[in-house]
Amino acid sequence: MDLGWIIGHAKVSFDHAPQTAKLKTKLGTEVSLSQLCGSATPPCHLNPLLFNGHLQTFWTAVKSQDIPIHYKRRVFENEDPTFKGTYAVDFVSHTPNTEPDSTLPPRTTYFTDEEFHRISSDDDKPMLVTLHGLSGGSHEIYLRHVLAPLVGRGEDGGWEACVVNSRGCAMSKITSTVLYNARATWDMRQTVKWLRKTFPNRKLFAIGFSLGANILTNYLGEEGDACLLNAAVVVSNPWTLDVSSLALQRTWLGRNVYLTVMGTSMRNLVEQHVEQVSKNPRIDMDRVRKAKYLYEFDREVQGPTWGYPTEGAYYRDASSADAVMAVKIPLFAIHAKDDPIAVDEACPYEEIKANPHVVLCATDLGGHLSWFQSSGERWFVKPAVNFFNKMARDIDLEESRRNRRYCLLVEMSDMSISGISAK
């Protein structure tokens, strides 16, 4: 056993390009992305009783302290006919909801039309867009751990935030046969565009957890230098989905605990919306109901829905391991090497090292979305919150964006000159 665990200390390491992107500070100086991420990351002191990734991950099922976050929900219709249907966005409300709505998660109510029409603002508060994990939603405790200090009144506060719920999650309705999958970036894309139009002076940031981290990374890669976000964090990203799935299938715990629990949660989600889902002629509900493991569910639902011949083909296409090389905004990835779900062998270390806009912080222990400390708090909240506040408060984001685009143009020019010379 690593003696560090006896006193609750986990090793922290960083992987990134030899020279990471230079960021201009509001004081006129420069700091590299790797330096900023390093300064945002405190020592990792975890609960010594939770001494491996399985125990850390299992502890998420134990009832912990409540973190009250109140939301106002708005249902959007996706404008892209390819991905027709509605999706729900929950906006953090600074006024407690006094009249609970039993059709929504706790502390969540709908905007009235009047309230929503008054939501636009010219303020310059930083705003966080959040993507949850598999079959989760805005009610998940792990994301509320991050939202609470940012939207609170303490020294880390002053932010606005919203959660983009995957279709059918968090008691939202599915209004078409189009579900979400591991690269479902379309609702995120529309939300970010809407936020930029509605809050023109706000700097936009994003965080994704687990499957939401994979979706967010794919979105960042698809947007490239045109991305409207200023920076992002991903936590416990499974990265290479086929590798993670095969790793889970190799062990008893992987098959009979993790894959079974995740398969059951997705099967239950489909059952909640069976009236709509069953309208898809490609889906055989009898076969879906017999699916035990997550990969069996994906074989019967995601494959037929999106035209993949096998779940492996779906996993390879939806993985974000290659997309990370196309990211052009500062991205801070937080990963535990003993994560039993987003396994370490699926983490694209070399791809991350090839992109100066990405820094990976890896701990040798911590589990999946866990990193529990003796206090019950989750360690990953600290580097994530610190990173966001350093980016929002210390960095001249407009100047850094201009500098990034200049470097990109120089790089493209050098490539063009090299091509001419080669001829």
- pLDDT, tens digit (0-9, with 9 covering 90-100), for 286-326: 999 999 999 999 999 999 999 999 999 999 999 999 999 99
Which domains does the chain carry?
6-240+319-411 (3.40.50.1820), 248-318 (no CATH)
Asked about 132 being catalytic, the answer comes back as: no
Please tell me the distance from the alpha carbon of residue 209 to that of residue 215, in angstroms, as a whole number. 9
What tokens does 123 get?
């303020």
Instruction: State the pLDDT at residue 408.
Output: 61
Q: Full-prediction pTM beyond 0.75?
A: yes
16 is catalytic: no
DSSP E strand boundaries for 104-149:
108-110, 127-131
Active-site residue flag, 339: yes
Catalytic residue among 210, 244, 320, 400: 210
Place of tokens 């995601």: 302
For residue 169, what pLDDT is reported? 97
Q: Decide if pLDDT at 403 tops 80.
A: no
Torsional class of 85: left (φ above 0), alpha (ψ -120 to 50), beta (otherwise)? left
Confidence of residue 98 (pLDDT cuts 50, 70, 90): confident
Q: What is the mean pLDDT of the chain?
A: 93
Q: Is 341:57 a contact under the CB 8 Å cutoff? A: yes
- What gap in Å lies between CA 348 and CA 355, rounded to an integer? 11
pLDDT band of residue 1 (cuts 50, 70, 90) is very low
Please check whether residue 408 is in contact with residue 61, taking contact to mean a CB–CB distance below 8 angstroms.
no
pLDDT tens by residue, 47-82:
999 999 999 999 998 877 789 999 999 999 999 999
- Which of 370, 393, 390 shows the shortest CA–CA distance to 145? 370
- Say how far apart CA 241 and CA 214 lie, in whole Å: 9
pLDDT of residue 360: 98
Residue 26 burial class via C-beta count within 10 angstroms: exposed 0-12, middle 13-18, buried 19 and up: exposed
Model confidence band, residue 412 (pLDDT cutoffs 50, 70, 90): low
State the burial class of residue 297 (Cβ atoms within 10 Å of its Cβ: 0-12, 13-18, 19+).
buried
Q: Which residues, including other chains, have CB under 8 Å from residue 306's CB and lie 6 or more apart? A: 181, 314
Q: Residues 6-24: what's their mean pLDDT?
A: 91
The one catalytic residue among 338, 357, 368, 370: 368
Check pLDDT > 70 for residue 6: no
pLDDT over threshold 50, residue 5: no
Angle between helices 141-151 and 381-394 (to 10 degrees): 30
d(CA 333, CA 125): 24
Q: Over 80: is that where the pLDDT of 418 sits?
A: no
Q: How far apart are CA 166 and CA 236, in angstroms?
A: 18
237-267 per-position pLDDT tens digit? 999 999 999 999 999 999 999 999 999 999 9
Quote the CA–CA distance of 340 and 366 in Å, as a whole number: 10
Judged by DSSP in three states, 326 sits in helix
| pLDDT tens per residue, range 342-401 | 999 999 999 999 999 999 999 999 999 999 999 999 999 999 999 999 999 999 998 877
Residue 155 has pLDDT above 60, yes or no: yes
Separation CA 318–CA 331 (nearest Å)? 19
From the list 339, 344, 364, 370, the catalytic residue is 339
The continuous run of DSSP H or E covering 248 comes out as helix 241-249
pLDDT at 410 over 60: no
Residue 149 is predicted with a pLDDT of 97
pLDDT at 407: 63
Confidence of residue 4 (pLDDT cuts 50, 70, 90): very low
Percent of the chain predicted with pLDDT > 90 = 88
